[in-house]
Amino acid sequence: MKVLSIEWISESAEGMMPGFIRMIDQTRLPEELAYLNTTDIEIVWEAIKMLRVRGAPAIGIAAAMGVAAALQGSEASGERLLAEAEKHADYLATSRPTAVNLFQALERMKSVARASASLPPAAFKERLVREAVAIRDEDAAMCRAIGEHGLKLIRDGQTVLTHCNAGALAVSEYGSALAPIYAAQAHGMRVRVFADETRPLLQGARLTAWELMQAGIDVTLICDNTAAVVMKEGKIDMVMVGSDRIAANGDAANKIGTYGVARLARAHGIPVYFLAPTTTIDMSLPSGDCIPIEERSAEEVTCGFGRRTAPEGVKVYAPAFDVTPAEYITAIVTEKGAAYPPFGETLREWMK
Protein backbone atom coordinates (compact mmCIF):
# COMPACT_ATOMS: atom_id res chain seq x y z
CA MET A 1 0.00 0.00 0.00
CA LYS A 2 1.36 3.41 -0.99
CA VAL A 3 0.75 5.90 1.81
CA LEU A 4 0.47 9.58 0.93
CA SER A 5 0.23 11.49 4.19
CA ILE A 6 -0.55 14.79 2.47
CA GLU A 7 -1.21 15.98 -1.08
CA TRP A 8 -2.75 18.81 -3.07
CA ILE A 9 -5.91 17.83 -4.96
CA SER A 10 -6.65 20.04 -7.96
CA GLU A 11 -10.24 20.46 -9.08
CA SER A 12 -9.17 21.84 -12.45
CA ALA A 13 -7.88 20.00 -15.50
CA GLU A 14 -5.91 23.07 -16.63
CA GLY A 15 -4.12 24.21 -13.49
CA MET A 16 -3.80 23.66 -9.77
CA MET A 17 -6.63 25.99 -8.79
CA PRO A 18 -9.12 25.64 -7.38
CA GLY A 19 -7.90 22.85 -5.15
CA PHE A 20 -7.67 21.62 -1.58
CA ILE A 21 -5.37 19.85 0.87
CA ARG A 22 -5.96 16.18 1.51
CA MET A 23 -4.20 14.71 4.53
CA ILE A 24 -4.55 11.52 6.53
CA ASP A 25 -6.05 12.24 9.96
CA GLN A 26 -3.42 10.34 11.92
CA THR A 27 -5.31 10.66 15.21
CA ARG A 28 -7.80 8.11 13.84
CA LEU A 29 -5.26 5.43 12.98
CA PRO A 30 -5.08 2.47 13.24
CA GLU A 31 -8.83 1.98 13.71
CA GLU A 32 -9.77 4.03 10.66
CA LEU A 33 -7.99 5.39 7.60
CA ALA A 34 -9.72 8.76 7.34
CA TYR A 35 -8.85 11.83 5.29
CA LEU A 36 -9.19 15.50 6.11
CA ASN A 37 -9.96 17.68 3.07
CA THR A 38 -9.72 21.42 3.64
CA THR A 39 -8.83 24.91 2.45
CA ASP A 40 -9.48 26.43 5.89
CA ILE A 41 -6.35 27.81 7.57
CA GLU A 42 -7.85 27.37 11.04
CA ILE A 43 -8.35 23.67 10.33
CA VAL A 44 -4.78 23.37 9.04
CA TRP A 45 -3.44 25.07 12.21
CA GLU A 46 -5.50 22.74 14.40
CA ALA A 47 -4.40 19.69 12.39
CA ILE A 48 -0.73 20.54 12.97
CA LYS A 49 -1.21 21.40 16.64
CA MET A 50 -3.27 18.31 17.45
CA LEU A 51 -1.05 15.93 15.44
CA ARG A 52 -3.62 15.07 12.80
CA VAL A 53 -0.66 15.70 10.53
CA ARG A 54 2.72 15.17 12.16
CA GLY A 55 6.35 14.54 11.36
CA ALA A 56 8.72 17.43 10.69
CA PRO A 57 8.61 17.35 6.86
CA ALA A 58 4.85 16.70 6.75
CA ILE A 59 3.94 19.66 8.92
CA GLY A 60 6.12 21.92 6.79
CA ILE A 61 4.28 20.73 3.70
CA ALA A 62 0.90 21.14 5.41
CA ALA A 63 1.75 24.71 6.42
CA ALA A 64 2.95 25.64 2.93
CA MET A 65 -0.21 24.22 1.39
CA GLY A 66 -2.26 25.93 4.10
CA VAL A 67 -0.99 29.36 3.04
CA ALA A 68 -1.77 28.65 -0.61
CA ALA A 69 -5.18 27.14 0.13
CA ALA A 70 -6.30 30.01 2.34
CA LEU A 71 -5.56 32.60 -0.35
CA GLN A 72 -7.84 31.02 -2.93
CA GLY A 73 -10.93 32.81 -1.68
CA SER A 74 -9.28 36.18 -1.17
CA GLU A 75 -10.53 39.18 -3.16
CA ALA A 76 -7.42 41.22 -2.41
CA SER A 77 -4.70 42.13 -4.91
CA GLY A 78 -1.19 43.55 -4.92
CA GLU A 79 0.28 44.52 -1.57
CA ARG A 80 -2.91 43.56 0.28
CA LEU A 81 -2.76 40.03 -1.11
CA LEU A 82 0.91 39.81 -0.17
CA ALA A 83 0.07 40.99 3.35
CA GLU A 84 -2.57 38.26 3.61
CA ALA A 85 -0.05 35.60 2.56
CA GLU A 86 2.45 36.79 5.16
CA LYS A 87 -0.25 36.92 7.83
CA HIS A 88 -1.32 33.34 7.10
CA ALA A 89 2.30 32.17 7.23
CA ASP A 90 2.95 33.92 10.55
CA TYR A 91 -0.20 32.39 12.00
CA LEU A 92 0.72 28.83 11.00
CA ALA A 93 4.20 29.34 12.46
CA THR A 94 2.57 29.48 15.92
CA SER A 95 1.24 25.92 15.68
CA ARG A 96 4.32 24.00 16.90
CA PRO A 97 7.82 25.19 17.89
CA THR A 98 10.39 22.41 17.47
CA ALA A 99 10.48 21.19 13.85
CA VAL A 100 12.54 23.61 11.77
CA ASN A 101 10.93 22.32 8.55
CA LEU A 102 7.75 24.20 9.46
CA PHE A 103 9.52 27.55 9.61
CA GLN A 104 11.68 26.91 6.55
CA ALA A 105 8.63 26.04 4.44
CA LEU A 106 6.75 29.12 5.61
CA GLU A 107 9.71 31.42 4.97
CA ARG A 108 9.98 29.93 1.50
CA MET A 109 6.31 30.67 0.86
CA LYS A 110 6.74 34.25 2.08
CA SER A 111 9.78 34.73 -0.14
CA VAL A 112 7.91 33.50 -3.22
CA ALA A 113 4.94 35.69 -2.32
CA ARG A 114 7.15 38.78 -2.14
CA ALA A 115 8.77 37.95 -5.47
CA SER A 116 5.33 37.45 -7.04
CA ALA A 117 3.55 40.50 -5.61
CA SER A 118 3.35 42.26 -8.99
CA LEU A 119 1.49 39.36 -10.63
CA PRO A 120 -2.28 39.47 -11.21
CA PRO A 121 -4.14 37.91 -8.26
CA ALA A 122 -4.98 34.64 -10.04
CA ALA A 123 -1.36 34.15 -11.15
CA PHE A 124 -0.08 35.07 -7.68
CA LYS A 125 -2.31 32.44 -6.06
CA GLU A 126 -1.39 29.81 -8.63
CA ARG A 127 2.31 30.55 -8.07
CA LEU A 128 1.97 29.89 -4.33
CA VAL A 129 0.09 26.64 -4.91
CA ARG A 130 2.85 25.47 -7.25
CA GLU A 131 5.50 26.37 -4.67
CA ALA A 132 3.72 24.38 -1.96
CA VAL A 133 3.42 21.37 -4.28
CA ALA A 134 7.11 21.75 -5.17
CA ILE A 135 8.02 21.58 -1.47
CA ARG A 136 6.06 18.35 -1.21
CA ASP A 137 7.62 16.84 -4.35
CA GLU A 138 11.14 17.81 -3.30
CA ASP A 139 10.59 16.13 0.06
CA ALA A 140 9.46 12.94 -1.67
CA ALA A 141 12.63 12.90 -3.78
CA MET A 142 14.81 13.57 -0.73
CA CYS A 143 13.23 10.72 1.20
CA ARG A 144 13.86 8.25 -1.61
CA ALA A 145 17.49 9.35 -1.70
CA ILE A 146 17.70 8.91 2.09
CA GLY A 147 16.42 5.38 1.58
CA GLU A 148 19.15 4.56 -0.91
CA HIS A 149 21.92 6.03 1.27
CA GLY A 150 20.55 4.33 4.38
CA LEU A 151 20.30 1.01 2.55
CA LYS A 152 24.09 0.86 2.50
CA LEU A 153 24.03 0.51 6.31
CA ILE A 154 21.78 -2.58 6.31
CA ARG A 155 22.58 -6.22 5.58
CA ASP A 156 20.08 -8.89 4.63
CA GLY A 157 18.41 -10.46 7.68
CA GLN A 158 19.19 -7.65 10.13
CA THR A 159 16.80 -6.14 12.66
CA VAL A 160 16.23 -2.41 13.17
CA LEU A 161 14.81 -0.73 16.28
CA THR A 162 12.92 2.50 15.64
CA HIS A 163 11.25 5.01 17.95
CA CYS A 164 8.14 7.05 17.11
CA ASN A 165 7.12 7.28 13.46
CA ALA A 166 9.50 8.45 10.75
CA GLY A 167 7.88 6.57 7.91
CA ALA A 168 5.60 7.56 5.07
CA LEU A 169 3.11 9.14 7.49
CA ALA A 170 5.71 11.62 8.77
CA VAL A 171 6.77 12.96 5.39
CA SER A 172 5.28 13.33 1.90
CA GLU A 173 5.74 9.61 1.16
CA TYR A 174 8.25 6.77 1.72
CA GLY A 175 9.71 8.03 4.99
CA SER A 176 13.03 9.09 6.47
CA ALA A 177 14.11 6.60 9.15
CA LEU A 178 11.95 3.90 7.57
CA ALA A 179 13.06 4.75 4.02
CA PRO A 180 15.98 2.27 4.10
CA ILE A 181 13.56 -0.43 5.27
CA TYR A 182 11.35 0.19 2.24
CA ALA A 183 14.41 0.36 -0.01
CA ALA A 184 15.63 -2.97 1.40
CA GLN A 185 12.26 -4.54 0.70
CA ALA A 186 12.37 -3.22 -2.88
CA HIS A 187 15.79 -4.87 -3.30
CA GLY A 188 14.48 -8.21 -2.08
CA MET A 189 16.20 -8.06 1.33
CA ARG A 190 14.68 -9.39 4.54
CA VAL A 191 14.70 -6.77 7.29
CA ARG A 192 12.83 -6.96 10.58
CA VAL A 193 11.73 -3.99 12.67
CA PHE A 194 11.15 -3.63 16.41
CA ALA A 195 8.95 -0.57 16.98
CA ASP A 196 8.80 1.18 20.35
CA GLU A 197 5.20 2.06 21.26
CA THR A 198 6.27 5.69 21.93
CA ARG A 199 4.41 7.04 24.93
CA PRO A 200 2.27 8.98 25.55
CA LEU A 201 0.54 9.17 22.15
CA LEU A 202 1.73 5.80 20.83
CA GLN A 203 2.96 6.90 17.42
CA GLY A 204 5.01 3.71 17.20
CA ALA A 205 2.07 1.48 18.07
CA ARG A 206 -0.62 3.33 16.14
CA LEU A 207 1.36 4.53 13.13
CA THR A 208 4.68 2.76 12.59
CA ALA A 209 3.29 -0.71 13.23
CA TRP A 210 0.29 0.08 11.02
CA GLU A 211 2.22 1.35 8.02
CA LEU A 212 4.85 -1.41 8.16
CA MET A 213 2.14 -4.05 8.31
CA GLN A 214 0.42 -2.40 5.34
CA ALA A 215 3.71 -2.70 3.45
CA GLY A 216 4.17 -6.37 4.40
CA ILE A 217 7.29 -5.75 6.51
CA ASP A 218 8.03 -7.95 9.55
CA VAL A 219 7.37 -5.67 12.54
CA THR A 220 7.26 -6.43 16.26
CA LEU A 221 5.76 -3.89 18.66
CA ILE A 222 7.36 -3.45 22.07
CA CYS A 223 6.69 -1.22 25.07
CA ASP A 224 9.16 1.64 25.40
CA ASN A 225 10.65 0.09 28.52
CA THR A 226 11.38 -3.17 26.66
CA ALA A 227 14.08 -1.62 24.46
CA ALA A 228 16.92 -2.41 26.88
CA VAL A 229 15.89 -6.06 27.15
CA VAL A 230 15.75 -6.71 23.40
CA MET A 231 19.15 -5.05 23.05
CA LYS A 232 20.60 -7.22 25.83
CA GLU A 233 19.11 -10.31 24.19
CA GLY A 234 20.97 -9.52 20.96
CA LYS A 235 17.83 -8.96 18.93
CA ILE A 236 18.76 -5.49 17.63
CA ASP A 237 21.44 -4.77 15.02
CA MET A 238 20.94 -1.01 14.73
CA VAL A 239 18.72 1.89 15.72
CA MET A 240 17.21 4.11 13.03
CA VAL A 241 15.21 7.20 13.98
CA GLY A 242 14.12 10.44 12.38
CA SER A 243 14.70 13.98 13.59
CA ASP A 244 12.76 17.21 13.97
CA ARG A 245 15.79 19.50 14.15
CA ILE A 246 19.53 18.92 13.87
CA ALA A 247 21.90 21.55 15.24
CA ALA A 248 25.15 22.62 13.57
CA ASN A 249 27.26 20.32 15.76
CA GLY A 250 25.12 17.22 15.05
CA ASP A 251 22.98 17.23 18.20
CA ALA A 252 19.55 16.02 17.11
CA ALA A 253 16.05 16.47 18.50
CA ASN A 254 13.52 13.69 18.07
CA LYS A 255 10.46 12.32 19.86
CA ILE A 256 10.81 12.10 23.64
CA GLY A 257 12.52 8.85 24.57
CA THR A 258 15.01 8.87 21.70
CA TYR A 259 17.84 10.09 23.95
CA GLY A 260 17.28 7.14 26.28
CA VAL A 261 17.26 4.71 23.36
CA ALA A 262 20.57 6.18 22.12
CA ARG A 263 22.18 5.81 25.55
CA LEU A 264 20.98 2.20 25.77
CA ALA A 265 22.33 1.46 22.32
CA ARG A 266 25.75 2.86 23.26
CA ALA A 267 25.81 0.63 26.33
CA HIS A 268 25.11 -2.42 24.16
CA GLY A 269 27.47 -1.52 21.30
CA ILE A 270 24.65 -0.89 18.81
CA PRO A 271 24.98 1.84 16.13
CA VAL A 272 22.47 4.69 16.14
CA TYR A 273 21.50 6.42 12.91
CA PHE A 274 19.47 9.62 12.58
CA LEU A 275 17.86 9.95 9.15
CA ALA A 276 16.26 13.17 7.92
CA PRO A 277 16.21 15.51 4.92
CA THR A 278 18.58 18.47 5.00
CA THR A 279 15.54 20.70 5.58
CA THR A 280 15.76 19.43 9.17
CA ILE A 281 19.27 20.83 9.69
CA ASP A 282 19.39 24.23 11.42
CA MET A 283 22.87 25.72 11.07
CA SER A 284 21.78 28.80 13.03
CA LEU A 285 21.82 26.74 16.24
CA PRO A 286 25.33 25.83 17.46
CA SER A 287 24.13 22.93 19.63
CA GLY A 288 21.10 21.03 20.79
CA ASP A 289 20.90 23.22 23.88
CA CYS A 290 19.40 25.91 21.63
CA ILE A 291 16.63 23.74 20.16
CA PRO A 292 13.21 24.85 21.45
CA ILE A 293 11.42 21.89 23.01
CA GLU A 294 7.64 21.79 22.80
CA GLU A 295 5.76 20.83 25.96
CA ARG A 296 2.44 19.10 25.43
CA SER A 297 -0.69 19.27 27.55
CA ALA A 298 -0.98 17.24 30.76
CA GLU A 299 -4.13 15.56 29.45
CA GLU A 300 -2.13 13.67 26.83
CA VAL A 301 -0.44 11.85 29.73
CA THR A 302 -3.21 11.64 32.31
CA CYS A 303 -6.20 11.09 30.05
CA GLY A 304 -4.86 9.89 26.73
CA PHE A 305 -7.39 8.52 24.23
CA GLY A 306 -10.31 9.51 26.47
CA ARG A 307 -9.60 7.35 29.52
CA ARG A 308 -8.15 8.66 32.77
CA THR A 309 -4.97 6.81 33.77
CA ALA A 310 -3.65 9.14 36.49
CA PRO A 311 -5.15 10.89 39.53
CA GLU A 312 -7.04 14.12 38.91
CA GLY A 313 -4.79 17.10 39.62
CA VAL A 314 -1.44 15.29 39.52
CA LYS A 315 1.46 17.42 38.25
CA VAL A 316 2.76 16.43 34.81
CA TYR A 317 5.92 17.22 32.85
CA ALA A 318 5.39 16.37 29.19
CA PRO A 319 8.12 17.47 26.77
CA ALA A 320 7.35 16.26 23.26
CA PHE A 321 11.00 15.90 22.25
CA ASP A 322 14.45 15.34 23.65
CA VAL A 323 17.92 16.01 22.23
CA THR A 324 20.45 13.27 21.59
CA PRO A 325 24.01 14.66 21.82
CA ALA A 326 26.15 14.11 18.74
CA GLU A 327 28.49 11.84 20.72
CA TYR A 328 25.77 9.16 20.82
CA ILE A 329 25.04 9.30 17.08
CA THR A 330 26.90 6.92 14.77
CA ALA A 331 25.87 8.73 11.57
CA ILE A 332 23.42 11.29 10.25
CA VAL A 333 21.91 10.29 6.92
CA THR A 334 20.29 12.79 4.54
CA GLU A 335 19.54 12.86 0.83
CA LYS A 336 23.17 13.95 0.34
CA GLY A 337 24.71 10.91 2.00
CA ALA A 338 25.97 9.89 5.44
CA ALA A 339 27.87 12.16 7.83
CA TYR A 340 30.09 10.73 10.56
CA PRO A 341 31.54 12.41 13.67
CA PRO A 342 32.62 15.09 13.96
CA PHE A 343 29.55 16.25 12.09
CA GLY A 344 30.11 19.99 11.85
CA GLU A 345 32.22 20.15 8.69
CA THR A 346 29.98 17.83 6.67
CA LEU A 347 26.81 19.60 7.78
CA ARG A 348 28.31 22.96 6.78
CA GLU A 349 29.26 21.57 3.37
CA TRP A 350 25.76 20.15 2.86
CA MET A 351 24.06 23.40 3.76
CA LYS A 352 26.13 25.75 1.58
User: Where in the sequence numbering do the catalytic residues fall?
Assistant: 244
- Which candidate, 282, 313, 287, 286, places its Cα nearest to that of 299? 313
- Residue 48: strand, helix, or coil: helix
The SS3 of residue 83 is: helix
Name residue 193's beta-bridge partners.
Answer: 160, 219
The most distant pair of C-alpha atoms in the chain lies apart, rounded to whole Å, by 65
CB under 8 Å to 132, separation ≥6 — which residues?
Answer: 8, 61, 64, 65, 67, 68, 109
Question: What gap in Å lies between CA 231 and CA 261, rounded to an integer?
Answer: 10
Q: Name the DSSP class of 205.
A: I
Query: CA Rg, the chain, in Å?
Result: 20
Q: What is the crossing angle of helices 78-92 and 56-71, to 10°?
A: 150
- Is-contact 57 177, C-beta < 8 A? no
Task: Return the sign of the alpha-carbon dihedral for residues 142, 4, 168, 131.
Answer: positive
Cα–Cα distance, 88 to 80 (Å, whole number):
12
Whole-angstrom distance, CA of residue 136 vs CA of residue 184: 24
